Amino acid sequence: MPHPLLLDPLTGLAGEIPSDDTLRGALETWARAGFPLVAMCCVDLDEFREIGEQLGHDGGDAMLQEAARRLRAAAPADAFVVRTGGDEFSIVMGTADERHCRDLLDHLVAQLTQPCSFKDQTIRLEATVGVSLAGGAEQPLELMLRQARHAVFFGKREGGGRVRFFDAQAARVDQQVLWERRRIEGGLLHSEFFLLYQPKVDMRSGTVVGVEALVRWQHPHRGVLQPWEFVPLIEDHELVEHLGDWAIGAALHQANDWAEAGRDISISVNIGPRHMARLDFLERLAFHLSQWPLLHAGSLELEILESTAINELAKIADLVAGCQLLGVPVTMDDFGTGYASLAYMRQLPVHALKLDQSFVRGILDNDEDRAIVAAVLMLAQSLGRTTIAEGVETVEHGRALLALGCTLGQGYGIAKPMPAEALLPWIAEFERSPPWGRAGDAAAAATGGQIYRSGM
């Protein structure tokens, strides 16, 4: 005799998932109807806490009761509808395949999300649904519920309001990403990240005009990791904001140390789109600057990707202007990769354009790359922007750039990224004997080259 399910006193639904005995009888019924699979569906209401705060305790209970009523009405008649948590419901039902299950759930979600009212307030419930599918009695319902909750968790991380099926292989990847993110968070807490600095130089005058700060991770087991090994894991996560915030603070600290040693060096830091989109970005930037009041304007620069700037032009233009007011110039990185136009550039008050290295590397033997570099230099000059070339891999690349009128360069042909303690000795050696000689500022001006001035 199947054990009767306990009832949830608020909603009247079952308060527990069905027992093995109860499920066994349902499996036979579903199989005869042509539904060989069991679907465990976890329905988790999105942002229900905010609804409860808006409506109060009684209003929150009323919404849970309404959600329960709608789920019961929309679910198949022979499905088990259970309240398994505060704002979590589960539906156990038979289904033919994933497509059939998705059709049922799409109908169910559509009914659930119809507007409803409480005391003259209109409310629209939203939900994320996680689903675990299994054949017959292949897996215990408790395990399937954990899998469905796993799918809900990652569905909410993707923005919520969706149906997400549990996939074992994808789940392993999800779990690995989650673990790696926790490890990155721990790395920030335990000071495992550090900055290397790659010089930016005026090739004609033979002087160093600044450095770019590049993040590295001293992983306790894998050694030093490059950004491409960990940044993609957090690009759409708040951790990228924490990492960028840390890099700004660390760069300013280092700039102050160099200033105290008698050398003012401008440091540029790369900022990701999610970090720059924070509502308090300028406030946090101002806070960091306030910690080092003796640093001159332009000691810190920010670099943003061309694609980021163009995708949110108006917002980024305002942020760039705000950075300038704080004495922090902004450079557009990877310029020339195909996004920007003259119209866009007129609206972006960036200080400089960083020419993408893919074009710079080809200028020795590719006429098209050389033409692109020349065109970008003309565009920058017409807009009053400084241009710096990435990807200066050899002395010959530098000579080719100088012939085109580009005096500023960065790349392995000049110097690899180096720790802070190595920079001042390297600068002294470079400026004593620059690889392109020392023609001086006057010669650069005579050839139409650009002399870089950090800051505003």
Let me know whether 233 and 110 are in one domain: no
pLDDT of residue 382: 81
pLDDT of residue 452: 43
pLDDT of residue 298: 94
Query: If 0-12 CB within 10 Å is exposed, 13-18 middle and 19+ buried, where does residue 369 land?
Result: middle
DSSP 161: S
Residue 158 has pLDDT above 90, yes or no: no
Let me know whether 156 and 187 are in one domain: no
State the average pLDDT over residues 240-269: 96
Q: How far is CA 291 from CA 118, 208, 284, 392, 413, in A?
A: 50, 26, 11, 35, 35
The DSSP annotation for 70-112 comes to: HHHHHS-TTSEEEE-SSSEEEEEEEESSHHHHHHHHHHHHHHH
Q: Where among 118, 133, 166 does a domain terminate?
A: 166
Let me know whether 211 and 349 are in one domain: yes
Q: Where among 166, 198, 217 does a domain terminate?
A: 166
Let me know whether 81 and 153 are in one domain: yes
pLDDT of residue 341: 55
Of residues 157 and 426, more confidence is placed in 426
pLDDT of residue 20: 78
Tell me which residue has tokens 């990155």. Answer: 184
Let me know whether 301 and 391 are in one domain: yes
- Whether 8 is covered by a domain: the verdict is no
pLDDT of residue 440: 42
State the average pLDDT over residues 401-429: 95
Let me know whether 160 and 73 are in one domain: yes
Exposure of 299 in the CB half-sphere (CA atoms within 13 A)? 25
DSSP 65: H
Residue 439 has pLDDT above 70, yes or no: no
Let me know whether 156 and 206 are in one domain: no
- Whether 9 is covered by a domain: the verdict is no
Structure tokens at 230: 């960990």
CB of 386 within 8 A of CB of 452?
yes
Let me know whether 189 and 77 are in one domain: no
Residue 176 phi/psi, 5° resolution? -65, -45
What whole-number distance in Å separates Cα of residue 310 and Cα of residue 321? 15
Residue 178 has pLDDT above 90, yes or no: no
In which domain, by residue range, is 231 found?
A: 181-446
- Whether 419 is covered by a domain: the verdict is yes
- Whether 147 is covered by a domain: the verdict is yes
The CATH number that applies at residue 285 is: 3.20.20.450
Query: If 0-12 CB within 10 Å is exposed, 13-18 middle and 19+ buried, where does residue 136 land?
Result: middle
> Among 46-55, 61-70, 342-351, 353-362, which is the least confidently predicted range?
342-351
Highest mean pLDDT: which of 45-59, 126-140, 274-288, 334-348? 274-288
pLDDT of residue 246: 97
- Whether 174 is covered by a domain: the verdict is no
Let me know whether 157 and 273 are in one domain: no
| pLDDT band of 154, cuts 50, 70, 90 | confident
| pLDDT band of 25, cuts 50, 70, 90 | confident
Long-range CB contacts for residues 14-21, cutoff 8 Å, separation at least 24: 14/80, 14/81, 14/82, 14/83, 15/82, 15/83, 16/82, 16/84, 17/80, 17/82, 17/84, 17/90, 17/92, 17/141, 17/142, 17/145, 18/80, 18/82, 18/92, 18/141, 20/137, 20/140
Tell me which residue has tokens 């005869």. Answer: 32
Q: How far is CA 168 from CA 99, 171, 337, in A?
A: 18, 5, 38
What whole-number distance in Å separates Cα of residue 239 and Cα of residue 139? 36
- Whether 37 is covered by a domain: the verdict is yes
- pLDDT tens string 288-313: 999 999 999 999 999 988 666 666 67
The CATH number that applies at residue 142 is: 3.30.70.270
pLDDT of residue 338: 55
Let me know whether 270 and 395 are in one domain: yes
> Among 3-17, 27-41, 58-72, which is the least confidently predicted range?
3-17
Structure tokens at 215: 């993040």
Let me know whether 232 and 271 are in one domain: yes
CB of 244 within 8 A of CB of 283?
no
- pLDDT tens string 112-143: 989 888 888 888 899 999 999 988 777 888 88
Percent of the chain with pLDDT over 70: 91
The domain total for the chain is 2
| pLDDT band of 241, cuts 50, 70, 90 | very high
- pLDDT tens string 81-91: 999 888 999 99
Q: Where among 119, 135, 166 does a domain terminate?
A: 166
Residue 283 has pLDDT above 80, yes or no: yes
Q: How far is CA 443 from CA 42, 205, 206, 447, in A?
A: 71, 8, 12, 6
- pLDDT tens string 185-214: 999 999 999 999 999 999 999 999 999 999
* pTM (predicted TM-score): 0.68
Rounded to the nearest integer, the mean pLDDT of the chain is: 87
- Whether 214 is covered by a domain: the verdict is yes
- Whether 148 is covered by a domain: the verdict is yes
Let me know whether 145 and 201 are in one domain: no
